[in-house]
Amino acid sequence: MIRTLRNLTLIALTSLGLTFAGVVHAQLRVEISGVGASQIPIAIASFANESVAPQQVSAIIKADLARSGVFKLIDTGDVLSETSTINYADWKARGADALVVGSVQRLADGRFDVRYRLLDNLKSSQLSALSIGTPPQQLRLTAHRIADDIYQKLTGIPGIFSTRIAYVTKAGKEFRLEVADADGEGNQVALRSNEPIISPAWSPDGSKVAYVSFEAKKPIIYVQNLVTRQRTVVANFKGSNSAPSWSPDGSRLAVALTRDGLTQVYIINADGSGVRRLTNTNGIDTEPQFSPDGGSIYFTSDRSGGPQIYKVGISGGDAQRVTFSGSYNISPRLSPDGKVLAYISRREGKFQLYALDLTNGQEQRLSDTVKDESPSFSPNGKYIMYATESGRRGSLAIVSVDGRVKQRLTTQAGDVREPTWGPFMK
């Protein structure tokens, strides 16, 4: 049974038995299906001289844009630099509304100068241009940033290709908290443990991750700096300490604690001080999530009999029930604009990802798998990552909020779970 269910029904978590199989230390492989309602036709020429670099910048950009489902890639065998003369009419005739050209040059200090232009073939004009000096190890990031720029210039929405994700894997008896690029590449291990690691959550500035570790044979909440690797114990009270969620300003965490009896929602400072109880019921209140404006907490509670999602003000008081369709709704996550609630719902024995439009009450099922858990919004609010299971092996999936574009991220062997999508990096 999936972890989110155990969080509610076995809230102490001490006997939690995650079904991780053995996994090699491998990058995630991405499989894409589905496209957006309308696609933007775009041609991406090979960058001039990019063979001097260890990675092909134009190929990374192509993969990013293809993965989004928003763009239709027009095949081209051309090599064009940012200084090439462009025949806009020719590219328009080839079906490309936009064209990307660029070059890569090795600098004397070992860095690379990556230059690119985004051209509008319909208006015969330039939409954007960048010149980025980058060390070899940040070449992929530079390509992701160019893809972000293209996405934003053509859609008006910030791209998320240069963001990062975190997730948990297991090799033998070793659990690992890993951080990777949004495309699953460049993965690095943030924490190794012989005991389970669950519920990772990014800080708003992307420098830290909060998580629950069982390394002391009980669930304790830590905050770890990803740069210095310094760890801080935030909650180590009697009983269970679980489900950390950051406030929008990064100063506090909402957590679920059993320190006073049944599992309830608390607010605590990010350094572990100033713990304050927020809910006070005779049931189980867990999985708290701050609203984007910081004024409310969404959480899961069984106060109505079965688990449903509720909302309470940051100062406490009476909670309002949010979900009414279905008898079992857990794991609330808010879109960055606060207008959409993602959650896991059990219906007809299937645990599936749903989204509720909080402005009009319309609900939509977004997944076609049956053992989903741990949803997490992309920072631009257009995609949701979640964990799922097929054949007793865990994998990550990404779906667009309209349900049209789907991706599956898997390792070559074993399980990957507990995804959380990092913020925009400044």
Q: Do 175 and 148 belong together in one domain?
A: no
How distant is the alpha carbon of residue 159 from its chain centre?
13
User: What's the rounded mean pLDDT across residues 323-333?
Assistant: 97
Domain annotation covers residue 32: no
Domain annotation covers residue 186: yes
Label residues 229-252 b or e (16+ Cβ within 10 Å = b): eeeeebbebebbbbbbbbbeebeb
Q: Give per-residue pLDDT as tens, 349-366.
A: 999 999 999 999 999 999
State which residues form the domain around 48: 38-155
- Non-local (6+) Cβ contacts of 273 within 8 A are none
Q: Do 136 and 232 belong together in one domain?
A: no
Q: Do 13 and 101 belong together in one domain?
A: no
Quote the CA–CA distance of 287 and 134 in Å, as a whole number. 40
Q: Do 151 and 169 belong together in one domain?
A: no
The answer to whether residues 332 and 300 touch, using CB atoms and an 8 Å cutoff, is yes
Quote the CA–CA distance of 154 and 338 in Å, as a whole number. 24
What pLDDT sits at residue 20?
Answer: 34
- The DSSP secondary-structure symbol of 136 reads G
Domain annotation covers residue 80: yes
Residue 394 has pLDDT above 70, yes or no: yes
Q: Do 211 and 360 belong together in one domain?
A: yes
- Mean pLDDT estimate for the chain: 91
**What is the domain-level CATH number for residue 88?**
3.40.50.10070
Domain annotation covers residue 25: no
Among 92, 120, 155, the domain-final residue is: 155
Q: Do 351 and 214 belong together in one domain?
A: yes
Q: Do 342 and 256 belong together in one domain?
A: yes
Domain annotation covers residue 31: no
The pLDDT confidence band at residue 425, using thresholds 50, 70 and 90, is confident
Residue 399 has pLDDT above 70, yes or no: yes
Q: Do 307 and 168 belong together in one domain?
A: yes
User: What's the rounded mean pLDDT across residues 398-423?
Assistant: 87
Picking from 18-27, 159-168, 272-281, 285-294, which range would have the lowest pLDDT averaged per residue?
18-27
* Number of domains the chain contains: 2
Q: Do 175 and 240 belong together in one domain?
A: yes
The answer to whether residues 398 and 404 touch, using CB atoms and an 8 Å cutoff, is no
Quote the CA–CA distance of 372 and 353 in Å, as a whole number. 6
Taking the model in full, what pTM does it have? 0.91
170 or 60, greater pLDDT: 60
The pLDDT confidence band at residue 8, using thresholds 50, 70 and 90, is very low
Residue 23 has pLDDT above 70, yes or no: no
Among 137, 155, 173, the domain-final residue is: 155
Q: Do 62 and 138 belong together in one domain?
A: yes
Residue 212 has pLDDT above 90, yes or no: yes
The pLDDT confidence band at residue 426, using thresholds 50, 70 and 90, is confident
What pLDDT sits at residue 116?
Answer: 98
Among 134, 155, 176, the domain-final residue is: 155
Q: Do 69 and 49 belong together in one domain?
A: yes
Q: Do 137 and 178 belong together in one domain?
A: no
